[in-house]
Structure 1
C-alpha cells in the first residue's frame, strides 16, 4: 500500500461498535468519508462473537486486528489519542494502544491466532546481502552462513535477463547447500521454489500485491519467509504470516534505498526484538563491526551487511562475526524502551 501523508491530527479517531446490518468495512468507510482520521469497528468479526477481532480503516493500514484480549472502547480510544500525541500515525497509535501487540491482516481474511514460537535455533548472525552468485560464493567462503541474493527485476527485463536470473539462483542454491548455509532469495519466490531454494525475502508491498490467493500459494510451497518492516503496523502484519524473521529497518540512515522512514535507532530495534515473537534482523546503514556489535546487543538475531562487506569479504567478515558474538553475549545488559518512537515524520 503506498504511503499517504499523515492524517490531520485535528481529525478524530473513532472506536465504534458494529452497526446492525452493516458490514464493518462499509461502516468504517462511511465514518472515514465523514472526516475521521481512522476508525476501529470493535469486536466486529462479520457477525461472529469473537471479542478479540476488530476492523481498522486508516490512511496507512486497513484490515482485521486480532487483539490478545477483549478491549474496552473508552480505554482504547483514550490510549489511541495518547499515542497520536506522541507523534505516531493513526495506524501505529492504535496498534500500540492495545498494549500487547496485536496481529493485523493483509486483506479481508482475519488473521489466525498467533502460534506459540518454536524453539530458538541458531542465530542468523552476519546476514550478507549480495547481487550475484559469485558474490554469494565469496561471502560463504569467508564464513557467512546467512546470505540473501538480491537481484531486482529491471523495467526492461526480457527472456535473456530471466535466464541470467535463473542461473544465478541455481548457482547460489548449490553454493549454499555446499556450505550448509541459509540462502534467502529476494522477491523471486516462484523461481526460488522451482529451483530448490528453501527461503525467500519479500517486502510488504510485494506481499500485498500477491493478494490472498498468492499469499496462500506462497505459504503452501513451504518456503521460509523473511519480511521487511518499518512501522508498527507493518510489524503486526508481518507477524500474522508467522515468518522466519522480521527485518527492522533502517536502523541507521542508509543511502542504499530512498525511503520515507526515520531511522529506527537501537531503541526501536530493541523494542522490535522484545515484542516481535520471532527473530528480528537489523538492516540499514550497518557498515562496521561496532554497529554490528550494538545491533546484536540490542537483540538482533541477525545483522544485515551490504556495503560493509567490502571488496574482500575474507578480510572483513571475521571481525564482523566476532563483533556479533560479543554483542550477543551482552544482550542481558541491554534494555528495550516501553514503546517505540515514530518512524514517519509528522505532518503539520
Structure 2
C-alpha cells in the first residue's frame, strides 16, 4: 500500500471519528479546542498502524496516546483480518491489557465508589463523611512531615463509624502507619515509588488508586493492577495545572469501555449539571472538589449531589 492509500485510510478515520474525538469541548462557560498534534516518529510500517498514527494525532491525541492507539488499531486489524474504520479500539487485548496475574493485584474496593469528595483537610474529611459521602480523599499539601502525619491520623479518626472509605493522596507511608483504607497516587508518583514499596502497599491490603490522563497512562496503571483507576481531567479545571487537555465525554466513554475491568472514577471540572452525562459513560464514581468545599452549605451540597448520583445510577 502506497502513501496515498495510507493517507486515504487516515482521512477515513478522521471523518468517521472527528465529530466525537476532535470536536470542541463545551462545559459551562469554558471551551477547549483539541488541536491537532505533531505525528510522532513511526515505530512500525504496517498501513493500519501508520494511518491510525496520523489520524489520532490529527484528532488531538498527544504523541504517547497516538502511539498507543495506533498499536491497538494494528492489533485489532490483525485479529479481525480487516481495517474497520468504524470500530474505535476498545478491546483490552489490543492494548496489551489481558493476561495479568490476579495474585499481583492490589486489594479490591467497591466497583461503584459513588460520590468521591477530594478534600483539603481532616476537618473537611470528617464533615463530608458525616454528611454521607461514601468515598473521601485527603489531599493535604505540606512539606512538614509531622503536620502531614497528624493530618492523616486525624482524617482516619474522623471517618470512624461513618462507613466512608478514606484514601490518602500521595503520602503512602503515612497512610499505612495510620491504617487508612486506601492510597491515591498520580502518574508522577509511580516514578518515585519503587517496586519494593509497591509490594509493601500491596501486601498490606491497603487499596491503591492511580490517576490517568489518557491511553498510555491507563496502560501503565494496569501494569501495577491498582484497586481503581481515576480518569481525567474530564472538563477544564483551575485546581491543578494539567499536562494534557481536558478529555471530554467521548474520550471518557471510550476509556470506560476499555478499562471496565476496574472500578473507575471520573474527575476534573465536573459540576452538578454534568453528572447525568458523566454517569452515562458507565463510570461508577464521580469525584468533586469545588462542588463541596466552595458550596455555601457543604452538607446540603453533599446531600444534593448524593441524590443526583442516585438518580443517575
> Which TM-score bucket, shorter chain as reference?
0.7 to 0.9
Partner residue, 1:341: none
Segments of 5+ residues of structure 1 without an aligned counterpart are 1-5, 17-72, 106-110, 329-348
Question: Are residues 1:15 and 2:32 paired?
Answer: no
Deviation of 1:207 (Å): 1.1
- SS, match of residue 200 in structure 1: strand
Tell which has more relative contact order, 1 or 2 (C-alpha 8 A, sep 6+): 2
| Mapped partners of 1:12, 1:125: distance in 2 | 41
Segments of 5+ residues of structure 2 without an aligned counterpart are 1-35, 73-88
Q: Superposition pairs for residues 290-309 of structure 1, below 5 Å?
A: 290-309=273-292
Deviation of 1:175 (Å): 2.4
Deviation of 1:199 (Å): 0.4
1:50-106 superposed Cα distances (whole Å, 9 cap, x missing partner) = xxxxxxxxxxxxxxxxxxxxxxx665455444433434333212322314346989x
Structure richer in helix, relative to its length: 2
- SS, match of residue 243 in structure 2: coil
TM-score, with length taken from structure 2: 0.72
User: 1:83 is matched with which residue: 42, 52, 56?
Assistant: 56
Deviation of 1:147 (Å): 0.1
1:140-169 superposed Cα distances (whole Å, 9 cap, x missing partner) = 11110100000123xxx3xxx322222221
Partner residue, 1:190: 173
Question: Are residues 1:258 and 2:241 paired?
Answer: yes
- SS, match of residue 243 in structure 1: coil
TM-score, with length taken from structure 1: 0.65
Cα RMSD for the two superposed structures: 2.8
Alpha-carbon distance change, 104 to 176 in structure 1, aligned in 2, over 3 angstroms: farther
User: 1:316 is matched with which residue: 291, 301, 304?
Assistant: 301
Q: Superposition pairs for residues 1-348 of structure 1, below 5 Å?
A: 8-9=38-39, 12-15=41-44, 75-97=48-70, 98=72, 99=89, 100-101=91-92, 113-115=99-101, 121=110, 123-153=112-142, 157=143, 161-276=144-259, 277-287=261-271, 289-309=272-292, 310-328=295-313
- SS, match of residue 117 in structure 2: strand
Is the 8 Å Cα contact of residues 37 and 58 (structure 2) preserved in structure 1?
no
| Mapped partners of 2:185, 2:227: distance in 1 | 12
Q: Aligned pair count?
A: 254
